[in-house]
Chains A and B, each alone.
Chain A
Amino acid sequence: MKNLLMTSAAMALAAGPVAAGSHSEEITLGVLMGFTGPIESLTPHMADAAEMAMKEVSDSGKLLDGMTVTAERGDTTCIDASAATAAAERLVTAEGAKGIVGAACSGATTSVLSNVTKPNGVVQISPSSTSPALTTIEDNGFFFRTAPSDARQGKIMSDILMDRGIEEVAVTYTNNDYGKGLADSFEQAFEEAGGTVTISAAHEDGKADYSAEVGALASAGGERLVVAGYVDQGGSGVVRSALDTGAFSTFHFPDGMIGTKLEENFGTMIDGSTGQLPGTDSPGKDKFEEMVGDAFDATSPFTGESYDAAALILMAMQAAGSSDPAEYKGHVMDVANAPGEEILPGELGKALDILADGGDVDYVGATAVELIEPGESAGSYREIEIKDGEITTVQYR
C-alpha cells in the first residue's frame, strides 16, 4: 500500500511538468497583503501594481512558451499572525500559488515565511517588510524582499536630521515589529552620529486618545518628534495630540506615516516637517508612473516595490525555464543584479525574450532594484519635506 502511494505520488509529480510543458497553462501567483487593518489605505495600490506586472507578462505571451499568469489575493490583516498564516495556506495549497508577493507587514511576513512558504517550498518576495529581523531569519533561500531593511532606513533618517543640525529628538513608535525595529535602528545610528534621543516610547494603535503618551514625550523634550507609526492609525493620533497641546510643531516621518492621508489630516499645520520613504530618481520610476496613469496611485508607498517583486518572480521562472519554486529561487538574485541588459518597467517582454535565448538581464525596474545578500534591497530613499501642506521631494539618498 505504501509503495502504491509512493508510486502514484511520484507519477503525479512527474506528470506535472510534462503537462505544463506540453501546452499553454496558467501560473497562479499569490498577492498576500493586509487589505484590512492598519495599512489598508496603502495595500490596494500595492496589489494593483503587482497585478499590473503579472498582466504585462501574461499579455506578452512569452513566459515559458505562452503561460498566462493569474493573481489570487489573500488578506493577512497585517496584525493577526494566524489569519495571515491561514490566508497563505489557502493560496499555496488550495490555489496552488507558485510564488507569493507579500506580505506587506513585517510580522505577517515572518509568520507566513516560517509556517507556510518555507515548509511548502514556495518563493515569497515581500515588497514592504522592512524589519531588520528578516535579514537573519532562516528561509532556505525562499525569501526575498524588494524593500530595504530598516537598519538602513534608521541610518538615512539619522543622516537627514543631522544634516539639518537637529541633534536632540524624541521618538515614538507603534508597538510592533516594524515600529520597534525602526526605532531601535534609528536610535543606534543617531547616537553613533552624536545625537541624543530623549525618550523612545511606544504607542498602541487604535486608541482614541494619546494625551498621556504625548505628555511623556513633551516632558522629555527635543527639537523634533520622530513618529515611527502608521498614518491610518495611532501615528496620526499622536501627531494630532502633539499639535493640540503645543508639545511639538515639527516632526520627522518614516515611510509608514507618508501618504496622501498625512496631507489631508494636517496640511499646513506640519510645515517644515521632514521624512523619508523608499524611492528613487532612476528613469524606471517615471516610466512606471507613466505606465500606471490613472489606474491607481503610483506615488503611494511601495507600489514600485510591489511591481518589481512580481516581475522578479516571473523573470526568475523564465531564467530557470520552470515555474517550480525550488528551481527558480536560485535565479532571483541573478535577474535582479548585473551583469546583463538593464530592464525598466514596461520592458518585461523584452527581458523574457533575452532570458529565453539564454542571455542575462539586470532588472532595474521601478525602484532601481539591487539585491544584496541574503536577498534584500540595498535601498535608496526619497527625502521629503512638508511645504505649504504638501509633500515635496528634497533629494534622493
Chain B
Amino acid sequence: MDFLNAIVALSNFVLVPAIAYGSQLALGALGVTLIYGILRFSNFAHGDTMAFGTMVTILMTWWLQSMGVSLGPLPTALLALPVGIVGCMALVLITDRVVYRFYREQRAKPVILVIVSIGVMFILNGLVRFIIGPGDQRFADGERFIITAFDFRKMTGLQEGLALKTTQGITLVTAVIVVALLFWFLNHTRAGKSMRAYSDNEDLALLSGINPDRVVMITWLIVGALATVAGVLYGLDKSFKPFTYLQLLLPVFASAIVGGLGNPLGAIAGGFVIAFSEVMVTYAWKKVLGHLLPESLEPSGLVQLLSTDYKFAVSFVILLIVLLFRPTGLFRGKAV
C-alpha cells in the first residue's frame, strides 16, 4: 500500500507535470530544429512565433465563446486552433518574404541570420503585446479535470491523490498525433523527402531538381503549425502571457540542442530530458521516500537537491554538460 502511495505521489507531482511540460517543449523544439536543419540558422523568434499563434487562437476562442459555441467538456480553443495555425503560417510566410529571403539570397552567414531573427523576435513581441496586452490571459474552458485528487482518493482509498487535468491529457494526445503526422510527412511524402534532401546537401538537392523556394515555404508552414500547437497547449495548461513565451525560448533551445540540432527525434527526446530534470532536481523527495522506506530510515529533511529558484539553471547546466562532452547532442545532430 505504501509503495502505491509513493507511486501516486510521484506521478502527481513529478511524472504527470513533467510529461505534459516535456510534450510542450518537444513540440517547440521540433520547430527550432526544423529551421536549423533546413534553413540553417537558430531562430530566436520562435518563442514569440508561438505567442503570436496562441494569440490568434485566443482571439478566435473569445469570438467563438461570445457566439455561444463550445466543445462541451473540451476547451473551445481546440476549435479555434486551425484558425490560429493559419494566422501563424501567414505571419511566418510574411516574415520570410520580407526579412529572411533577402539574407538567404545573399547566402548570409548563419550568425547574421541569428541576429536578424533576434530583431524579428523583438518586433513580434511588441506586436503581440500591442494586440492582446502584456497581462495574463486565461482562455481554457470546459471540464478542468479528467480526475481530481479528491475523487482519486475516494475511488482508491489511498492516502495520496492523483490529479489529471484535461489540458494535460489533451497535451499528450495532441503531441502524439502531431509528431506521428510530422514523421509520416518527412519519411513518406515527396515534399518531406525533398526537405530532407535539401537539409542533407543543399547544392546536390538543387542539382536534382528540387525547388528550394518550395522547400523553404513548406518548412515555414510546418514550423508555423508546430509553434501554434505548442503555444496553445502551453497556454491552455498554464496560462498565456507574452513575457513567459519569451522566457520559454531557453528551455526550448536547450531541448533542441541537447537532442541534437537538426534532428527531429532528438528534439523530442531533448524536450523530455529537460522537463524531467527541471522537475526532478527541484522536487523535495521527502514524501515519496517517507512512503517507501521503513519508519526508522524516514528522512527528516526535505531531500531536495536544489531549491525551486534554480529551475531555469537546470536547463543551463544540462546544456553545458552536453555541449562539453557531446557537442552534436544526444542524437547526433549538426555541430553548433
Contact = CB atoms under 8 A, between A and B. Distances in A.
Nearest to B167: A244
B309 A204 contact: yes
B238 to A, nearest CB: 4
B278 A244 contact: no
Q: Is the interface of A mostly helix, strand, loop or mixed?
A: mixed
A211 B286 contact: no
Given A245-B149, A246-B161, A246-B163, A215 B13 contact: yes
B12 interface: yes
Nearest to B160: A246
Nearest to A213: B308
Nearest to A246: B149
A203 interface: yes
B118 to A, nearest CB: 22
B211 interface: no
B238 A216 contact: no
B208 interface: no
Contact of B279 (A202, A215, A221, A247): A215
B283 A208 contact: no
A296 B286 CA distance: 48
Given A199-B302, A208-B241, A212-B311, A246 B148 contact: yes
B287 A245 contact: no
Contacts of B145: 244
Nearest to A175: B309
B100 interface: no
B244 A218 contact: no
B287 A219 contact: yes
Interface string A189-221: 000000000010111101111011111101111
Contact of B165 (A175, A207, A244, A247): A244
B12 A245 contact: yes
B169 interface: no
A246 B145 CA distance: 12
Contacts of B44: none
A216 B244 contact: no
B13 A245 contact: yes
Contact of B163 (A209, A220, A244): A244
Contacts of A218: 13, 287
Contact of B244 (A199, A206, A215, A246): A206
Nearest to A236: B136
Contacts of B304: 216, 219
A216 B288 CA distance: 11
A243 B282 CA distance: 20
Given A206-B243, A206-B244, A207-B244, A219 B284 contact: yes
A201 B149 CA distance: 23
A7 to B, nearest CB: 52
Contacts of A199: 284, 302
A351 B145 CA distance: 59
Interface residues of B, number: 39
A220 B302 contact: yes
Interface string A241-267: 000111100000000000000000000
B163 A212 contact: no
Q: Is the interface of B mostly helix, strand, loop or mixed?
A: helix
B150 A212 contact: no
Contact of A219 (B13, B165, B240): B13
A204 B149 CA distance: 26
A218 B148 CA distance: 16
B139 interface: no
B21 A219 contact: no
Contacts of A221: 286-287
A321 to B, nearest CB: 47
A202 B234 contact: no
B239 interface: yes
Interface string B243-280: 11000000000000000000000000000000000110
B307 interface: yes
B63 to A, nearest CB: 23
B238 A209 contact: yes
Determine which residue in A175, A201, A215 has the highest number of CB atoms from chain B within 10 A of its CB, and name it. A215
Contacts of B205: none
B285 interface: yes
B14 interface: yes
A216 B12 contact: no
Given A212-B278, A219-B284, A246-B150, A201 B21 contact: no
A206 B239 CA distance: 10
A219 B309 contact: no
Determine which residue in B238, B240, B308 has the highest number of CB atoms from chain A within 10 A of its CB, and name it. B308
Interface string B3-14: 000000100111
B241 A212 contact: no
B284 to A, nearest CB: 4
B308 A208 contact: no
A214 B244 contact: no
Interface string B306-328: 01110100000000000000000
Determine which residue in B165, B287, B288 has the highest number of CB atoms from chain A within 10 A of its CB, and name it. B287
A219 B244 contact: no
Contacts of A201: 307-308
A238 B194 CA distance: 47
A220 B282 CA distance: 13
B192 interface: no
A280 B183 CA distance: 65
Given A202-B309, A219-B283, A211 B239 contact: no
Contact of B282 (A175, A207, A212, A237): A212
Determine which residue in B12, B237, B244 has the highest number of CB atoms from chain A within 10 A of its CB, and name it. B12
B284 A216 contact: yes
A206 B14 CA distance: 22
8 contacts: A207-B244, A212-B279, A212-B283, A218-B13, A219-B285, A220-B284, A221-B286, A244-B144
Complex A-B, nearest 9 residue pairs according to Cβ-Cβ distance, in ascending order: A246-B149, A215-B13, A208-B238, A219-B284, A246-B161, A219-B287, A216-B284, A208-B244, A211-B17
Given A208-B239, A245-B161, 18 more contacts: A199-B284, A206-B244, A207-B244, A211-B13, A211-B17, A212-B308, A216-B282, A216-B283, A216-B284, A216-B302, A218-B287, A219-B304, A221-B286, A244-B145, A245-B163, A246-B149, A246-B150, A246-B153
